[in-house]
Structure 1
Amino acid sequence: MAKARVRDLDGVTRLVERNGRTGAEAERHLSAHLAERTAPSMGDLTPESRLTALWEAYEAHLLEEGRAIRTMERYRYASTYVIKGVGGYKIREASTQRLDAFVKTVKSKHGVSVAKSARVILSGMFGLAVRYGAAASNPVRDVGTIKMESKPARSLSVDELRGVIDALRSSDKVLNAANKVTPKQTISEYCAIADLTDVVIMFAGTGARISEVLGLRWSDIDFDAKTVTISGKVNRMPGGGMIRESFTKTKSGARTLPLPDFALSMLMARRVSAPTNIYDVVFPSTTGLLRDPSAVSKQWRRVRTALKLDWVTSHTFRKTVATLIDEQGLSARVGADQLGHAQISMTQDVYMGRKTVHTEVADALNRIVQ
């Protein structure tokens, strides 16, 4: 049991306690409760409020909006730098010059990604302050933008894609040296035991994200229509394990895709032999639970290193599908629908059909992979 005395918003100090299976868990439960209990309401914000209080109000606002778990994790991580760097300033003291200097310091000490996230949450915080009268304008508006260096998209060639799938199925190359803990295994043996081959085939057959593939349910597969519906994804709740979210990364991410024959054959064989699981997912863990994308990525890293393809991540298969679609002469509209990307072109958004099942994608992949 973890206990603490807290002064509530009414000014009264009370004893608060929370339980857990371990001391650390009890402390986490207590910390989470206290954060919610003492979070200032929007009406409490004034120009004299500290940025620590503004962040707490903004965090509560994000939770009310139902922001994705991963987004909240990223924002909370970046907020630690914000609180440490400028948290003690009052809202009225946070000038553009001061915040610009802070963001530049974060960039030089902690990298572009952290600095960009810090700028994003500061902008959101002060946007909230403006809406509730605690600030006359948003000082972050004129803070210098943070530019991320874009790496050129690299995809597998047709021969490389075929070679990867063949290796997962039949390579007799030894993955690791034999020892008392781990017996000698070939790449194909390891992939069979780790249930990695079918996952990679699904990557190649759909171009779906790793979280989307691991969140696929048997009810999402239509064997008669030869399609799969991407309707959700798996995610890890901080301190709460894996969950399946019934929404995709973006609105355009919810889509129905055609299945090429090689992916459909894999799914049909899997349907016959796979044991049931409580989540009805196609690719469960060895214990019948939801599979962690991080664990699958770790397994894939071992294999790609053995194949001398260290640059190939699960996302590389998305880029590969997009490249193959383009090389087969299919339109950018088709590629966007396949990958679940939102469009930036008004012409394509307004005048071309959305949510279309492009069977020509499956035909193209069949010609290439088989």
Structure 2
Amino acid sequence: MARPRMGIGTYGTINTSEVQPGKWRARTRYRFTDGRARQVEKYGASRAKATSALKQALTTIEADRGGELKPTTSLRVLAQMFLDAKRDVGRSEGTLETYGYAVSAHIIPKIGNLTVAEAKPERLQPFLNRIEKESGAGAAKNCRSTLSGMMALAVVNGATEKNPVRELERISRSRAKRRGSAAIPLDELPAFLAIARADADLMRWDTVGLIEFMLSSGWRVAEVCALDVTSVDFSAGTATVEAINVRVKGLGVVRQNFPKTEKSARITPLPAQTMELLHRRHEVLREFTTLLFPTPLMRLRDPSNTQREIRDRRDVLGYPALSTHSFRKTVATILDQEGLSATEIADYLGHENPSMTQDVYMNTIKGSKRAAEVMGQRLDGLI
């Protein structure tokens, strides 16, 4: 019966011999990524030292062969190759930062010294379990997604036959623990806006105008923060989502010149009073910036800081569950109650899938009317 063939990146039995007094040789055959097995040997002052030197050499023996991916490539190196590959294909800075955080905060410190060949489900599952326990389901999902991309790269480059992440358990947040933002009851909108306009902190942060715009447009906070006057057509009564603000490590807040998803890139017809709001803001700000919702210092507004501003004042405003997402839910509720379909509301909000709009934002589905007209009628006298 023929002897089984060694796998790529593996070696055979290590043989040792004393070639002269005080000098030992350790020798074995190693199968390289080109499929050929070659003899490798190292020397040491004792049998143990020679064996140790050989094993150490075998872990890096192909490291200088053009940077190719191999079964012996460490996850530390693979992670950097993965990030470089995502950067080369033009992934957004926000996406790169998300992947990069998983790599730097979790993958490299905890399993970075494992090789591709060692990245088996029985090693990766405990790692993800630990991340979920210590840092939460969100961090574990991010690590799982990043690891999946890394190992997919390894598969494409022939360093492993299959992606081990596919065999891992899915990470899901318990529905009982899931807490969504609440829409503002429509009959309470006048009182809510009155309180917001009277809040000294929100006025000082120039957040009130942003709230008013979100309550009529349904835009995401990162989309509003990036809105430039060049994206507004005052004659047509529309504003175009074509950028978002994101915070990038080492750069601060940047204006990313494409939105969250392909569906997010949309032209939104806006109520007349909302267009007037944008016109007033442009007239006040045009001397300093073309942005319509900058910081008081006329810089790019950070969506995370804006979310924090809302959280800091929500108890004072009388809505403990309030967030910037509440404004999108409020818009969806208005459009739903006025009879727009799930598809129409999804288009207005920039959702990829109408079912997401229906599941998360709506209670019932009815007929069809124009979203901008509906919002103008419901917010008449409020904005």
- Do both share a fold (TM > 0.5)? yes
What RMSD over aligned residues (CA atoms) do the two structures have, in Å?
A: 2.2
3-state secondary structure, aligned to 2:246: strand
Superposition map of 1:189-200 within 5 A = 189-200=200-211
Alignment-derived partner of residue 220 in structure 1: 231
Q: Secondary structure at the match of 1:208?
A: coil
2:343 aligned to which of 333, 351, 360: 333
Provide the C-alpha distance between the structure 2 equivalents of 1:360 and 1:40, rounded to a whole number of angstroms. 63
Partner of 1:21: none
What's 1:307 paired with? 317
The 1:244–1:277 alpha-carbon spacing in structure 2 relative to 1, beyond 3 Å, is: farther
The answer to whether the 8 A contact 1:82-1:118 is kept is yes
SS in 2 for 1:248: coil
Count how many residue pairs are aligned between Structure 1 and Structure 2. 302
- Matching residue of 1:264: 275
2 CA distance for matches of 1:241 and 1:40? 36
The aligned residue for residue 68 of structure 2 is: 44
1:97 equivalent in alignment to 2:122: yes
Q: Which residue of 1 aligns with 2:107?
A: 82
2: distance between equivalents of 1:332 and 1:254? 18
- State the AA in 1 paired with 2:216: G
Greater CA drift, 99-108 or 132-141: 99-108
Q: Is the 8 A contact 2:265 2:350 kept in 1?
A: yes
Q: Is structure 2 residue 83 aligned with structure 1 residue 59?
A: yes
Q: Is the 8 A contact 1:277 1:289 kept in 2?
A: no
Partner residue, 1:164: 192
Residues in 2 aligned to 1:244 and 1:41: alpha-carbon distance in whole angstroms: 40
Instruction: For 2:270 and 2:160, locate their aligned partners in 1 and report how far apart those are by CA, in whole Å.
Output: 53
2:219 corresponds to: 208
AA matched with 2:87:
L
For the Cα contact (< 8 Å) 1:230–1:253, is it kept in 2?
yes
* Residues 242, 291 of structure 1: 8 Å contact kept: yes
Compute the displacement of 1:241 (Å): 2.5
Match runs of 1:82-161 below 5 Å: 82-149=107-174, 150-152=178-180, 154-161=182-189
Q: How far does the alpha carbon of each residue in 1:330-357 deviate from its partner, in whole angstroms, 9 at most, with x for none?
A: 0111111111111277xxxxxxxxxxxx
Shift of 1:231: 0.9
SS of the residue 1:310 aligns to: coil
- The residue identity in structure 2 corresponding to 1:130 is V
Q: Which amino acid aligns with 2:169?
A: G
Corresponding residue of 1:323: 333
User: CA 1:56–1:207 in structure 2 vs 1: closer, same or farther (change >3 Å)?
Assistant: same
Gaps of 5+ in 1: 1-38, 172-186, 346-357
Aligned residue in 2 for 1:362:
372
Q: Identify the range of structure 1 (155-164 vs 243-252) with the bigger mean alpha-carbon deviation.
A: 155-164
Structure 2 CA distance for partners of 1:202 and 1:41, relative to 1, 3 Å: farther
- Partners of 1:40 and 1:56 within 8 A in 2: no
Q: Structure 1 CA distance, aligned partners of 2:297 and 2:304?
A: 16
What is the letter of the counterpart of residue 328 of structure 1?
E
Give how far 1:192 is off.
Answer: 3.1
What's the counterpart of residue 182 of structure 1? none
Q: Is the 8 A contact 1:258 1:359 kept in 2?
A: no
Aligned to 2:359: none
Q: Which residue of the partner structure matches residue 303 of structure 2? A: 293
Name the larger-Rg structure.
2
What residue number does 1:349 align with? none
Q: Structure 1 or 2: larger helix share? A: 1
- Aligned with residue 293 of structure 2, among 270, 276, 283: 283
Once the two structures are TM-superposed, the CA of residue 123 in structure 1 deviates from its matched residue by 0.7
Name which of 341, 353, 372 aligns with 1:343.
353
For 2:64 and 2:246, the matched residues in 1 are separated by 29
Q: Is the 8 A contact 1:40 1:57 kept in 2?
A: no
| SS of aligned partner of 2:263 | helix
In the alignment, what sits opposite 1:6? none
Specify the SS of the correspondent of 1:235: strand
Unaligned 5+ runs, structure 2: 1-62, 356-367
Deviation track 1:304-327 (CA, whole Å, cap 9, x = no partner) reads 221121211111111111222112
Distance 1:41 1:250 in 2: 39
Residue 252 of structure 1 contacts residue 342 of structure 1 at CA under 8 Å; is this kept in 2? Answer: yes
1:276 and 1:282 mapped to 2: Cα distance? 12
Q: Cα distance 1:289–1:157, how it changes in 2: closer, same or farther (>3 A)?
A: same
| Aligned amino acid, residue 217 of structure 1 | D
Counterpart in the other structure of 1:20: none
**What is the TM-score when the length of structure 2 is the normalising length?**
0.74
- Does the CA-based 8 Å contact 1:42-1:132 persist in structure 2? no
Deviates more, 1:308-317 or 1:267-276: 267-276
Q: CA deviation at 1:252?
A: 0.8
